Amino acid sequence: MSAAAQPPPQQQQARPPKPAAPAKKDVKILMLHGYTQSGALFRAKTRALEKMLQKSLAPFNLAPVLLYPTGPNQLRPQDMPGYTPPEDGASAEEQESDNWAWWRRDDASGAYRFLTQGMNRLADTIEEAGGVDGVLGFSQGGAAAAMLAAALEDRPVPDNVDEHYEWSWVERLRAANGHRPLSFAVIYSGFFAPPPALGWLYEPAISTPTLHFIGGLDTVVDETRTQALVDRCVEPAVLTHPGGHYVPINKEWVMPLVAFVKTHGEKLGDKTDAKI
């Protein structure tokens, strides 16, 4: 048989393309440091937690994006717990300080001074990120996390203002987050803010899902202050670790955090990074 008469070679069937892997869903989380810390220091202290969170959520196509702002209120050396004047006679103003706070408690009245600046810093960070899904805070940052979650809920804002409080930051926060409440809040060694002017943030109780970590040996934030915040949250999840005033980063205590973020991260709708 001539070559021209031979049957054409059997055509190979094209393999069906492999299905595309599902896109990872960003879960944006504000990370709020404690009193006397900074965003950079808080990240350094929780780096192991950050890595474990990212590794553990990857199989579920969740990508935690952690944002570490720094509070706007710089603390002077004499504002630090246990401060003693330097022996060389240098004034407190001459000493360098990389310690920050979200607000300053007034010793005479108990009011939270500079709270507006702290909350506006959070609004700036949220706006730059195109909105956030959750918050994790430690100590004063834990108290701020609860206040942020409450402020982003649909609750009325007081009309009254005084020398310590005005509420323009509430609308700034809500607009920055596209008028969406947070999906979750994680609070380590947090506490209830007792100034009466802030009572609207706790009444009605905070409905955002919350996970509270309490140090069984915490001598910095008294357990009654932490419990007062827990009592003002709807169906809070509460865990007590055997340590003191810090964020536990060993696996035993990070895995409950992973499970909590997974549960609420998987409920997030598709979002873009566009500002709303």
Contact 162, 109 (CB under 8 A): no
Which H or E run includes 226?
helix 223-230
Two tokens at 111? 């009011």
pLDDT at 95 over 80: no
- Residue pLDDT, tens place only, 40-77: 999 999 999 999 999 999 999 999 999 999 999 999 88
pLDDT at 275 over 60: no
Burial class (CB in 10 A: 0-12, 13-18, 19+), 108: exposed
What pLDDT score does 270 carry? 47
pLDDT at 271 over 50: no
What pLDDT score does 76 carry? 84
* 114 torsion bin: left (phi>0), alpha (psi -120 to 50), beta (else): left
pLDDT at 12 over 60: no
Mean pLDDT value across residues 174-193: 98
What pLDDT score does 124 carry? 98
pLDDT at 2 over 70: no
Contact 265, 25 (CB under 8 A): yes
- Residue pLDDT, tens place only, 143-176: 999 999 999 999 999 998 888 899 999 999 999 9
pLDDT at 133 over 60: yes
Angle at 111 between CA 108 and CA 116, to 5 degrees: 140
**136 residue type, one letter:** L
Q: Which of 2-16, 39-53, 225-239 has the lowest mean pLDDT?
A: 2-16
| The architecture CATH gives domain 24-75+97-265 | 3-Layer(aba) Sandwich (3.40)
Nearest to 52 by CA among 268, 253, 186: 253
What pLDDT score does 46 carry? 97
User: Domain segments of the chain: what residues?
Assistant: 24-75+97-265
Give the predicted TM-score (pTM) of the model. Answer: 0.87
- The CA distance from 160 to 49, in Å, is 41
Contact 215, 190 (CB under 8 A): no
Mean pLDDT over the full length of the chain: 89
- The CA distance from 137 to 210, in Å, is 11
**Residue 41 φ/ψ, nearest 5 degrees:** -65, -40
Mean pLDDT value across residues 109-118: 96
**84 residue type, one letter:** T
Mean pLDDT value across residues 12-21: 64
What pLDDT score does 274 carry? 35
